[in-house]
Chains A and B, each alone.
Chain A
Amino acid sequence: MISAGFTATNAASSGIRLERKLLKALAKRSDKPGLVFLGLWALSLVATGYLVYLALGTVWVYPAMFVYGTILTLSAYAMSHETAHGTAFRTRWLNTTVEWLTALIYMEEPLHRRYTHTNHHSYTWHVGKDSQMPFDTPMTVTGWLVEVSGLALLYFHLRTLMRLVTGRYTDVMRAVIPAHELPKIQRNAWIFLLVYLAIGTLIVSGQHWLLWFLVYPRLLGMPILSLFGLIQHVEMQENSASIIDSTRSFKTDRLAAFLYLNMHNHIEHHLYPQVPFYSLPALHQAIKDQLPQPDPGFWRTNLEVLSVVMRRSMGRNTRARSIRQSPQMITDGRYQKRSVRSMR
């Protein structure tokens, strides 16, 4: 539950206005965009998966798996997030089915995801309250490497799964998940574990194609997924009521926007989480006069973040030149740790 006297971080707390009729039109639900996405995602996986097949036995299998794995992993994350909000499809069973499928690929039990993400929206980037702060702040080169390798997220997911399976709930879990939901989450976690054990058993028994088309690509897809996740909030202001201070939107190309379900409009998503992915560009147009300019493209934003964290680790000035950055994060030499990741 939200603490007494605390206002959830959203459009109202950020001073953003949108006429109700327009918001209602933007938040309207439909099955079609999600089904079109699933069709195109499946086609792109078949096409790039065929490249993996052709490259088996050669060194080209690794770049092929990287492309296939990025498409698999990034969109599984994006769709599991969208379905956790319940906004991907109008039809409920469709939303739930796709939520489970993509959550299995993303490796996070759906109800745990939903409750911790609910908390993330209520307390966006509030230290000690936001249960989805994935890295220590301010970020250093070491933190960047751990994050971008995907190892931190993978470790978190595996550790969380085992905690849920064994009922060893963390303080964060107990704080954000109602007690009566924990048995249901534990049951779901067992289903997840059994699915993963079944996949492992199949591999050990000779079904090695699962390694080339699922396990290795899933691991190779982690870095790009992590880079997308990283720039949602890195170098932004902590403990602010305003989403504009705490969150970053950035420009990107059409392919990335497709794979990421338009979540580069991240400020817009946090302001109005009831707006489905296919209406986020229209939402951006509707409120852009009230928002800062989106940061430059995915690569430029990430390069600037890397530059900042390298300068921080070298004890130099950390002022960013081309992306939005909280004054809290600008130091000239020495810096103090501000927060420890809550996803651990």
Chain B
Amino acid sequence: MSEKWILACATDDIEEEDLIRFDHGDKTYCIYNTVAGFYATDGICTHEDEHLEGGMVIGTVIECPLHQGRFDVRSGEALSAPVCVNLETHAVKIEDGKIFLDISA
């Protein structure tokens, strides 16, 4: 599938070790500002129907606010129980202080 970049937010919109929610169409995403750079994933935890926007960013990990399951935001890998299913990730690119999200996946 070809890339489909859309403007999501400015880099300044996200504090260090934090995230913001980004909704587009009927999809919802989270965009992270981590120690390793900016990343994006689907917004809903794969364990329960809980949005990750209320979660904690710890290094390159997002922790779900409901049950503290953890994902690596770089790969989407589920790191600890109770999450078992990986999180979908989305490519981001930075241009002129703006974050673009690839929503083709």
Residues of A within 8 A of B (CB): 1-2, 8, 10, 20, 23-24, 27-29, 85-87, 90, 92, 111, 114-115, 118, 121-122, 178, 180-181, 272-274
**A121, B66: Cβ atoms under 8 Å?**
yes
Contact of A111 among B48, B70, B81 (CB under 8 A): B81
**B48, A8: Cβ atoms under 8 Å?**
yes
> How far does the Cβ of A218 sit from chain B's closest Cβ, in whole Å?
26
Q: Mark B64-98, 1 if CB is under 8 A from A, else 0.
A: 01111010000000001110100000000000000
**A8, B66: Cβ atoms under 8 Å?**
yes
Contact of B80 among A8, A28, A86 (CB under 8 A): A86
Which residues of chain B have C-beta atoms less than 8 A from A115's C-beta? 81-82
B56 located at the interface, meaning its Cβ lies under 8 Å from any Cβ of chain A in the complex: yes
**A20, B66: Cβ atoms under 8 Å?**
no
State A325–B93 Cα separation when bound (angstroms): 55
Q: Mark B20-63, 1 if CB is under 8 A from A, else 0.
A: 00000000000000000000000000011110001110100001
State A255–B80 Cα separation when bound (angstroms): 32
Q: A2-B48, A178-B84 are in contact. Are A29 and B67 (CB under 8 A)?
A: no
Contact of A274 among B47, B65, B81 (CB under 8 A): B65
> How far does the Cβ of B56 sit from chain A's closest Cβ, in whole Å?
5
Kindly report which residue of chain A lies nearest to residue B67, judged by CB atoms: A118
> How far does the Cβ of A214 sit from chain B's closest Cβ, in whole Å?
28
Kindly report which residue of chain B lies nearest to residue A95, judged by CB atoms: B80
- 4 tightest A-B CB contacts, nearest first: A118-B82, A118-B67, A86-B68, A114-B81
Which residues of chain B have C-beta atoms less than 8 A from A122's C-beta? 48, 66-67
**B49, A23: Cβ atoms under 8 Å?**
no
Residues of B within 8 A of A (CB): 18, 47-50, 54-56, 58, 63, 65-68, 70, 80-82, 84
> How far does the Cβ of B24 sit from chain A's closest Cβ, in whole Å?
21
> How far does the Cβ of A237 sit from chain B's closest Cβ, in whole Å?
22
State A24–B33 Cα separation when bound (angstroms): 14
Q: A1-B48, A8-B66, A274-B68 are in contact. Are A114 and B82 (CB under 8 A)?
A: yes
Which residues of chain A have C-beta atoms less than 8 A from B67's C-beta? 118, 121-122, 273
State A272–B67 Cα separation when bound (angstroms): 10
**B68, A273: Cβ atoms under 8 Å?**
yes
State A118–B70 Cα separation when bound (angstroms): 13
**A8, B68: Cβ atoms under 8 Å?**
no
State A118–B69 Cα separation when bound (angstroms): 10
Contact of A2 among B49, B55, B65, B80 (CB under 8 A): B49
> How far does the Cβ of B105 sit from chain A's closest Cβ, in whole Å?
24
State A273–B50 Cα separation when bound (angstroms): 14
Which residues of chain A have C-beta atoms less than 8 A from B50's C-beta? 8
Which residues of chain B have C-beta atoms less than 8 A from A178's C-beta? 84
State A24–B56 Cα separation when bound (angstroms): 7
> How far does the Cβ of B70 sit from chain A's closest Cβ, in whole Å?
7
State A243–B49 Cα separation when bound (angstroms): 19
**B68, A180: Cβ atoms under 8 Å?**
no
**A-B pairs with beta carbons under 8 Å apart, 22 shown:** A1-B47, A2-B49, A8-B48, A8-B50, A23-B54, A24-B56, A28-B56, A29-B58, A86-B70, A87-B68, A90-B58, A92-B80, A111-B81, A114-B81, A118-B82, A121-B67, A122-B66, A178-B84, A180-B84, A181-B84, A273-B66, A274-B55
State A23–B66 Cα separation when bound (angstroms): 13
The interface centre, meaning the residue of B55, B67, B68 with most chain A CB atoms within 10 A of its CB, is B67
> How far does the Cβ of A268 sit from chain B's closest Cβ, in whole Å?
14
**B58, A10: Cβ atoms under 8 Å?**
no
Kindly report which residue of chain B lies nearest to residue A113, judged by CB atoms: B81
> How far does the Cβ of A270 sit from chain B's closest Cβ, in whole Å?
12
**B81, A181: Cβ atoms under 8 Å?**
yes
Q: A2-B48, A274-B65 are in contact. Are A27 and B82 (CB under 8 A)?
A: no
Kindly report which residue of chain A lies nearest to residue B57, judged by CB atoms: A24
Which residues of chain B have C-beta atoms less than 8 A from A24's C-beta? 18, 56
Q: A114-B81, A118-B82 are in contact. List 20 more A-B contacts (CB 8 A).
A: A1-B47, A2-B48, A8-B48, A10-B66, A20-B54, A24-B18, A24-B56, A27-B56, A85-B68, A86-B63, A114-B82, A118-B81, A121-B66, A122-B66, A273-B65, A273-B67, A274-B54, A274-B55, A274-B56, A274-B65
